[in-house]
Chains A and B, each alone.
Chain A
Amino acid sequence: MLTPTSPVESPYSRWPAGVKLALVAGLGMVIGALSHVALLAMALALVWLTFLPVGRAEAARLPLRLRPLWPFILVIGGWHILRGTPDVGLAVILRMLIMVAAATLLLLTTRFDALLATFSTLFRPFERLGLPVERIALALAMAVRFIPVLSQRAADLALAWRARSARNPRHRLLTPLALSALDEAERSAEALRARSASV
């Protein structure tokens, strides 16, 4: 699942999703105003500490969960080193790590349908302006369904490659993966039509 909901029932699980979203948004504003690297590093440490009520195992897993961010760290860091502003780069990287860590904690302790319900409530007022809230909620739910499907497909393609090649597939799987995502989209459009009157 995309939503890495933790099986551990933590105090955060009982907080309303809207409150947690507001807290993450507030955190974003606070660290956006901070530019001091030491303060940002402290903020990251604090966010990490807030993982403890979910369990030590989950807190220890945070670096692993943040690891996929390395290409961004490389690009942002490299750019700022080239420009001679390593401090700014470090601050941007720290902000990114803080926000992803906070969002991870939110996802760990919030059921996806609760998030969707909050989303629908928040955006209900915009419905009158023509924002298709129901459709967006449907699209989000389908994204949660299809992200594991596509990552499984990527893994299958990598296996199929390895079954017939000694070399590492790397980027060469991107085209077949993109094509199979398009295929998948076509099939889901059909499945949607098979059970709905409006789509």
Chain B
Amino acid sequence: MSEFSHGIELQFASVTLGGKPVLEDLTLRLTEARIGVLGRNGSGKTTLLRLMAGLIAPDRGQVRVDGVDPFRNRKATLAALGILFQNPDHQILFPTVEEELAFGLVQQGLTPEEAAGRVAALLVAEGRAHWAKVPVSTLSQGQRHYLCLMTVLLMQPRTILLDEPLAGLDLPTQARLARRFAALPQRLVTITHDPAVLAGADRVLWLEAGRIVADGPPGEVVPAFTAEMDLIGAQDADADLAG
């Protein structure tokens, strides 16, 4: 049981939203460095991410991140886990870059002065000192994604959850971000509908209708997923009416 305190653990976790079961009896232990969760739209991927991040509580069952309940113990969770939302505009809370960066640090217990110092140092290290006072509304989509990643990295969590991290970005930005993700020392849990994003994963989970249908190395899970998606796509294309 000593490894219980390491990684993300779900035990018979279920989530019901608006009367509909979205996740059902999930039991998982995620300890690998690079984990991918594959699924179609509506498969429950984002709900699973929210559950692991402690943004929602399970209706039944248990969730533990590095041994703590991420929903109840927010303080410990902030050090354990960060989350990068799919849409940076759903993540950015403050009008200027420096305020956005400093917020999480102050929440972790730093004084505003210490936080400001760390923010300034990060911006210098990233070659973006001139961003400090910039209104977030003037940043491009790619720059906002980047700002959100910096915000999460500043808080130095041990695990980062990524929700469709490359969707909607142009190819150079995708390449830059993918490189950045690959170099991170943190455990990454990437949620996506695009198997290509998970090429370098250690473990891939395939989620369908709130249940895990496959769990293994990408070499096994990805081809099965792709084949099934092609099949569904082909069926969908068949729009003949009966009669």
List the interface of chain A (C-beta within 8 A of B): 1, 3, 112-113, 141-142, 144-145, 148-149, 152, 187-188, 190-198
Q: Return the contact of B104 from the options A145, A196, A198 (Cβ within 8 A).
A: A196
Question: Which residues of chain B are within 8 angstroms of A188 by Cβ–Cβ distance?
Answer: 90, 93
Contact A195 B99 (CB under 8 A): no
Q: What are 26 contact pairs spanning A and B, CB under 8 A?
A: A1-B135, A3-B95, A112-B95, A113-B99, A141-B94, A145-B93, A145-B136, A145-B137, A148-B137, A149-B137, A190-B55, A191-B91, A192-B93, A193-B54, A193-B55, A194-B55, A194-B82, A194-B85, A194-B91, A195-B78, A195-B82, A195-B104, A195-B107, A195-B155, A196-B74, A197-B75
The answer to whether B107 touches A141 (Cβ under 8 A) is: no
Task: Point out the residues of chain B lying under 8 angstroms from A145, CB to CB.
Answer: 92-95, 136-137
Point out the residue from B50, B95, B107, B137 that lies within 8 Å of A196, measured CB to CB: B107
> How far is it, in angstroms, between the C-alpha of A194 and the C-alpha of B157 when the chains are bound?
12
Instruction: Output the nearest chain A residue to B148 by Cβ-Cβ distance.
Output: A191
CB of B19 to closest CB in A, whole Å? 18
Give bound CA distance, A188 to B93, whole Å. 7
Contact A1 B137 (CB under 8 A): yes
Which residues of chain B are within 8 angstroms of A187 by Cβ–Cβ distance? Answer: 90
Neighbouring B residues of A192 by C-beta, 8 Å: 93
Assess the B136–A191 pair: CB atoms within 8 A.
no
Q: Which residues of A contact B78 (CB under 8 A)?
A: 195-197
Task: For residue A10, give the distance in angstroms from its CB to the closest CB of chain B.
Answer: 18
Task: Please indicate the chain A residues that have their CB under 8 angstroms from the CB of B54 in the complex.
Answer: 193
Q: How many residues from B make CB contacts under 8 Å with A? A: 28
B49 shortest CB reach to chain A, Å: 11
Give the complex CA separation of A9 and B233 in angstroms: 60
Residue of A nearest to B89 (CB): A149
Query: B43 on the interface (CB 8 Å rule)?
Result: no
Minimum C-beta distance from B178 to chain A (A): 22
Minimum Cβ distance to chain B for residue A140 (Å): 10
Residues of B close to A144: CB separation below 8 A: 95
Contacts of B89 in A (CB 8 A): 149
Residues of B within 8 A of A195 (CB): 78, 82, 103-104, 107, 151, 155
B26 at the interface (CB under 8 A from A): no
Cα of A3 to Cα of B104 in the assembled complex, Å: 24
CA distance A148 to B107 in the complex (A): 25
Q: Nearest Cβ distance between residue B79 and chain A, in whole angstroms?
A: 10
Any A CB within 8 A of the CB of B15: no
Among candidates A112, A152, A193, residue contacting B74 with C-beta atoms closer than 8 Å: A193
Determine the distance from Cα of A113 to Cα of B103 in the docked complex, in whole angstroms: 14
B residues 69-97 in Cβ contact with A at 8 Å: 74-75, 78, 82-83, 85, 89-96
For B100, the closest partner residue in chain A by CB is: A145
* Inter-chain contact B93/A142, CB cutoff 8 Å: yes
List residues of chain B with CB within 8 A of the CB of A198. 74, 107
* A191 & B90 in contact (Cβ 8 Å cutoff): yes
Q: Is B53 an interface residue (CB 8 A)?
A: yes
Most buried by A among B75, B85, B93, B108: B93
18 more A-B residue pairs beyond the given contacts A141-B93, A144-B95, A194-B82, with a C-beta to C-beta distance below 8 A: A1-B137, A3-B95, A112-B95, A113-B96, A141-B95, A145-B93, A145-B136, A188-B90, A190-B55, A190-B90, A193-B74, A194-B83, A195-B82, A195-B104, A195-B107, A195-B155, A196-B104, A197-B108
* Measured CA separation A1–B107 after assembly (Å): 26
CB distance from A62 to the nearest CB of B (A): 23
Which of A145, A190, A192 counts the most B-chain CB atoms under 10 A from its CB?
A: A145
* Chain A residue with Cβ nearest B138: A1
* Closest chain A CB from B173 CB (angstroms): 21
Interface bits B145-157 vs A (CB < 8 Å: 1, else 0): 0000001000100
* Complex alpha-carbon distance, A194 and B85, angstroms: 10
Q: Nearest A residue to B71 by beta-carbon distance?
A: A193
CA distance A22 to B190 in the complex (A): 52
Query: How far, in whole Å, are A195 and B81 apart by their CA atoms in the complex?
Result: 10
Chain A residues within 8 Å of B95, by CB: 1, 3, 112, 141, 144-145
